[in-house]
Structures are given as structure tokens and as C-alpha cells.
Amino acid sequence: MIKIDMEKQLHGSNGEMTLGINMLVNQNDFIVIMGESGAGKSTLLRCLAGLEEAEGSIIVEESIWQDSNRTLPIQKRNVGFVFQDFALFDNMNVKENLLFVNKDETLAKELLEMMEIEGLSNRNVQFLSGGQKQRVALARALMRRPKLLLMDEPLSALDPRMRHKLSQKIKELHRRFGMTTLMVSHDVNEAKNLANRIWFVELGKVKEYDTAYLEELYG
Amino acid sequence: MIDLEPFWLSFKLAGLTTLILFSVALPLAWWLSQTRSGSKPFLEALTALPIVLPPSVLGFYLLVILSPNSAFGTFMEDLFGVKLVFTFSGLVVASCFYSLPFMVQPLQNGFETLNRHMIEASYLAGKSKAETLWRVALPNIKPSLLTALIITFAHTVGEFGVVLMVGGSIPGETKVASVAIYEMVEVMEYGKAHIYAAIMLVLSFVVLLTVYLFNHKQKSKIGIV
């Protein structure tokens, strides 16, 4: 169980706004976060990971990640994070990107096989296609066996065929590693396919809708 | 026969300055690139001062600070037995001040143009700031790193004003190549001055060409040109 009760001032394209979140996340939830650009979806993920500061508290199981007295450093949160722009380490090859996180060769091999990129192990990451890069980024995010996986529009830079293929992979990884996953997406089909809960970020507030409502809203 | 000692002194000075400045400027440049502190513009302005100050102004202040009559000069002489005026050690200290922006600025620019998410991905992987700097940031700014090292080296070789004021022209101690050329012109030994100047010109060109060739190669490797 993750308890999030936080506030964050946003200075975005929509002007000054307070993002307020008071939500509970259950273990093994797959939550897709939707909403307009600039609503604060990415900020929410970044605050959870510790990449940005916010007021309030984040409690994960029994561990306090943030409250009024302390903030757990990013390094100690053991969060898997996938960026929209992959953010691979350009000075390392595919395998080195994974082993940089954790020297577990067996896990690296398993993940590369799962992502169907074991043949690219020694390839310089700068020469990979977008789909290949995102698969490496996903595999890298799982190298510390995180209990919480955060993904910021991980599929938006990919073509529709690759999007579909990777969203299946994400579903598989979520189950296999028994993770709780929060993913930002603008794609309704992706949300319907992956999530058991949908959050909408609107005017600084987070509201929850079930997938049936989404069905009703978008057909 | 050409006396090559001034060149040897110039290169020894440049090599030491580059080495010391790299270790001092690396954490400074990293901090400047990452901080949101209000003191950043102040520090940036302070670091850039040697670019705009006339070498005579910088040389004068360094002479005052390093002189045996100053608190710092007395401290260095009493504790380490090191004299900093008209000595090679003094030249190294002065060069470190004079060449500081040439090391800090390319490194800082390199770090600032790095994909911020790459740095964050390293923190998310559990790595400390120091490990991130050493294993992720630095290897990904190779062209900036080479520019910083070579330009600092070349700039120190080309120093004149500060060197003359702080070090004077003591053969084998502080008479570096640029000072030697100045003295040759003063006594109208144009033939020797020509040879010295030509050596400096060719060396400087080769050094700069190396930097630009490397950077061009790096850029074409990742498809920018």
C-alpha cells in the first residue's frame, strides 16, 4: 500500500497551479495516469521518485519516503523509472547499461531475453532504434527488482506497431515481477488494455475513474 | 644552437596547471551545472574574471597576495618553505587563477547540455553524485573534456603578462617561451625571435587542430555532422 498525500506548486504552461494528490495505491495496482499536457502527471511521478520536491507525505508499506521531517534520497527508494526519451547511458553498450544498475549478470540476461534484445547485448546504445532503446530502458529499470515501477509516457515516441508490442511486454513484466506500476499515457486503448485503475489529473486535482467509465467516455 | 629550456618550462608549467585545474575545476563545474543556488551567478562571474581582466591587473593582485609581506605569502613560506614570487611554484599558482575559466567553462557547458534524465537515471539506479559524475557525466562530455584540457594547456603555454609580473624572467626558473621571445625582440635578436615564435605558432596550431579534429570525429560518430 502506498499513501500519497502531497501538494506541489506548478509553474507550467497553464500558469500557476497547485497540484494536490491524496490517493492510495494498492499493491500490484497498474494505474494509468491521464490528463491534459501540463496538468502535472509527470510531476506526480517525479515527486514519487524523489526527483522533485513536494510538500506532504509519501508512505510506502511501513517505510516513510517523505514527511515533514525527512525525505528519503532518490538512491534509497528503489524505484524503477522509465523516461519518455529513454535516457540511456550513451557511453555504455546495452549490457553495460543494465549492469551499471546492478551487477547481476543472470538477471540482465533474463531481462534481455524477455525483451527480445539479447542479440544487441554488445551494441552501442546510440545506434539502436527507438523501440530497441525503450526496451533497453525498460530492462534497465527492472535491474534493481523494484516493487514500484514509474513510467512517464514510455511509448509515446514509438510507432503504433511497436507501441502495441511493448505495451504487451509491459503487462507481462508487471505480472512477472509482481510490481505496482504507475504509467503516464495519453492513449485510451493503452489505458484500457493495461490498467486496473485510471487516474485523471485535472485542474491540479487527481480523480479516479474505473475502466468501465473510460469505456463509456471513449466508446 | 637554440636554447629549448624556455619551451620545457612553458610545457612543464602548462602540464602542472592543467593537472591541478582539472581536479579543482571538475567538482566546481559539476556543482555550477547542477545547482539552483542564488550564489551561482556570483561564482560564475568570479570564475570568468580572468577572461576580461587585463593580465597586468590580475598579475598585480597576485603579486600582492603572493608576496612574502602578505598573510598568504608568509603562511606559505613559514609552513611549507615555499616562496611564491619570482619562483616556478608562484607561476603555477598564478597560472591556475589565470586559466581557471578555460577549464571550468567548457566542462560546465558540457554538463549543462547533457540530458538531465541521464543523470537522474543514474541516481535512480542508486548511484551517488560522485559516481554519477565519474561514470556517467564525464564520459558523456568527451569533446568538452578534451576542449577544457587542451585549451587550458594551450592558454597557459601562451601566458605572458601574468607570468612576467609574478615570475619575472629568471632563466631555468621562470623564463618561459613567451617571455623569452619578448626579451629577444627587446634586444633586437629577430632571427631567434622568429624561430621561437614559429615554434609556438606551429605547436599552438597543432594543439587546436587536434581538438577540432577530435570534436568533429565525435560529432560525426553520433550523426550531428
For residue B18, the model assigns a pLDDT of: 96
For residue B218, the model assigns a pLDDT of: 77
Q: Which helix (H) or strand (E) is A16 found in, with range?
A: strand A15-25
Q: Which residues in B lie closer than 8 A to residue A85 (C-beta atoms)?
A: 115, 117
The phi, psi pair for A102, rounded to 5°, reads -160, 130
pLDDT over 70 (residue B106): yes
Q: At what angle do helices B55-66 and B71-80 cross, to 10 degrees?
A: 50
For residue A39, the model assigns a pLDDT of: 82
Convert the pLDDT of each residue in A154-201 to its tens digit: 888 788 888 888 888 899 889 999 999 999 998 888 888 889 899 998
Query: Which pLDDT band holds residue B124 (cuts at 50, 70, 90)?
Result: very high
Q: Which of B115, B126, B139 sits opposite A75 (nearest CB)?
A: B126
Q: Which helix (H) or strand (E) is A33 found in, with range?
A: strand A30-35
Convert the pLDDT of each residue in A30-60 to its tens digit: 999 998 888 888 999 999 999 998 899 999 9
Q: Within an 8 Å CB–CB cutoff, is residue A147 touching chain B?
A: no
For residue B224, the model assigns a pLDDT of: 54
Which segment of A40-49, A116-125, B214-223 scores lowest on mean pLDDT?
B214-223
For residue B220, the model assigns a pLDDT of: 77
Q: Within an 8 Å CB–CB cutoff, is residue A89 touching chain B?
A: yes
Cβ distance B156 to B21 under 8 Å?
A: no
Name which of A89, A128, A147, A152 to mutate to probe chain B: the one with the most chain B Cβ atoms within 10 A of its Cβ: A89
Q: Which three cell numbers stand for residue B29?
A: 563545474
Of residues A19 and B24, the one with the higher pLDDT is B24
Cβ distance A169 to A135 under 8 Å?
A: yes
Average per-residue pLDDT for chain A: 89
Q: Which three cell numbers stand for residue B82?
A: 615555499
Query: Which pLDDT band holds residue B13 (cuts at 50, 70, 90)?
Result: very high
ipTM value:
0.92
Cβ distance A56 to A66 under 8 Å?
A: yes
Find residues 116-135 of chain A whose CB sits inside 8 Å of chain B. Answer: 126
**Interchain proximity A75–B127, CB inside 8 Å:** yes
pLDDT over 80 (residue A215): no
Cβ distance A35 to A200 under 8 Å?
A: yes
Q: What is the pTM of this model?
A: 0.87
pLDDT over 60 (residue A121): yes
